Amino acid sequence: MDNPIVDNPDLPFNGGEPIKFAGQFKDGGKTGYHGYWGVNFFVEDEHLYSEGLHYKQLNLALKNKGIKPVLDIVLNHGSPAYTMATDLPKFGEIYDRNGKLVADHQNLAPSELDASNPLHQFYNHKPDLAQLSDMNADNPAVLDYFVEAYLHWIEQGAEAFRIDTIRHMPHQLWKQFSDRIRAIHPDFFMFGESFEYEATKVAQHTLPKNGAISVLDFPGQRAITSVFENQDASYEDIQSYLYLTHGPYYNPYELMTFYDNHDMARMNADDKGFINANNWLFTSRGIPVVYYGSEIGFMRGLSEHEGNRNYYGQERVDQAPKHAIYQNLKRINLVRQSTPALQRGLQVNLEFTQDTASFLRVLEDKQNTETALVLLNKADTAKTIVLDKWISNGKWQSQLSDQWYSVNNGSIEVTVPANGVEVLRFAQKNNNTSLYQELDKLMANK
């Protein structure tokens, strides 16, 4: 997933509060190295591309490797716009496709902007985040600008959008934005970052009336870390965020699931905690997201301004394949990649105990007919799991070894290694009648 790639100011910001260790929203002396201080949303920042390798060429190369790029986009704000000692070039300014200045804060506080001045009409007259220019969602020109800009980047190869700070703009704007993008690119996938732990609130973005935009699963993040940071926690407690039935989300299977990112502390777990978290993340409902460095437990437990965002470095990239977290993550990722049921199948929970979890992922559509049985064990000793509910008779094949399991009476017994996972695949239509009754309930109430 990319950061924003658009042109940012060239100089350090000379307003705001000075940068300090562990300081949040302190941008004095900072540059737009992160890409979130957009000035011209049609132009690549000069620090990102090389000769012969612009965004379009990068995307072509990625797609040739089977990788679909996700572009990080922003609509609610531009660059720092006021409190500057002297008005610096580009700060608080917006330029169009042709390089024409269309908005300028002119180093004025939001309350000092003039509604009759065309260059001020892009912006709200009250502050929001730090000293950033805050876009006026009530001005149709703002929406027109960003629709045109982000359609441009789809033409350059973006396959999906991650929308930063989505909750800072109203639902009606996102409905219009998504409708206009999908009118040209039907079913274009978008997901938003709404830093909110109450499911009923974050779920509002997923509703068709609000744009049908998926979201990062923050309630899930809290539930996942509470289990895998604490060895005494129970797998029974992790089910609270799934909302497989009667939930607030339009489609819980499209949520982006994760356990840490750049705006919070890294998960504070040992290697086994990360391994178990990844085994859960890559087999349960949702689309998994892994933050750079967590494949080796980089800066574990440290918050975003105390080490979480530290430079990773080529040496760590080179050493990562030797790390136990990386090796186990690669293993379960490859299983997910080759098992469509883990990607799109309905989740049917079977048994959750202190240290084990077992569930089915059932996929029966025009392209695939298969069921995955997932068995997880976060204990330090192997566990034998016996299941006699909703299991179809026939041959089940391990996706992690050459072993086969034969089921004749609707019951199966599987031993899962310590801090391990087993995934069994049933490559035909299910023959358990009671399972279909449960699937009907899930479909009717999802």
CB 437 within 8 A of CB 392: no
CB 335 within 8 A of CB 423: yes
Closest CA to 238 of 250, 223, 218: 223
Q: Enumerate residue ranges in the chain where pLDDT < 70.
A: 1-2
Rounded to 5°, angle at Cα 396 from 392 and 399: 140
Distance CA 153, CA 44 (A): 10
Distance CA 275, CA 116 (A): 57
Q: Which residues contact 102 (CB under 8 A, 6 or more apart)?
A: 94, 95, 96, 119, 122, 141, 145
CB 223 within 8 A of CB 241: yes
| pLDDT of amino acid 161 | 98
Distance CA 207, CA 408 (A): 43
| pLDDT of amino acid 332 | 98
Q: What are phi and psi of 422, to 5 degrees?
A: -135, 140
Burial of 333 (0-12, 13-18, 19+ CB in 10 A): middle
SS (H, E, C) 340-364: HHHHHCEEEEEEECCCEEEEEEEEE
CA dist 351 → 60, 213, 398, 420 (Å): 44, 32, 19, 16
Tell me how far apart the terminal alpha carbons of the chain are, to the nearest angstrom. 29
Q: What does the block give as tokens for 38?
A: 């957009």
Helices 271-281 and 324-337 cross at an angle (nearest 10°) of: 10
Q: Which residues contact 66 (CB under 8 A, 6 or more apart)?
A: none
The pLDDT tens digits for 7-48 are 999 999 999 988 887 777 788 888 888 889 999 999 999 999
The CA-based diameter of the chain, rounded to the nearest angstrom, is 79
| pLDDT of amino acid 1 | 57
* Burial call 220-239: b when 16+ CB within 10 Å, e when fewer: bbebbbebbbeeebebeebe
Domain 344-445 CATH class label: mainly beta
DSSP string, 70-99: EEEE--SEEEE-B--SS--TTTTEEE-TTS
Distance CA 261, CA 257 (A): 11
| pLDDT of amino acid 2 | 61
Amino acid at 376: L
| Annotated domain spans of the chain | 6-337, 344-445
DSSP string, 374-434: EEEE-SSS-EEEEE-SSPPSEEEEESSSS-EEEESSS-EEEEE-TTEEEEEEE-S----HH
CATH for the stretch 6-337 = 3.20.20.80
CB 173 within 8 A of CB 137: yes
Q: pTM of this prediction?
A: 0.94
Q: What does the block give as tokens for 421?
A: 């996972």
Burial of 393 (0-12, 13-18, 19+ CB in 10 A): middle
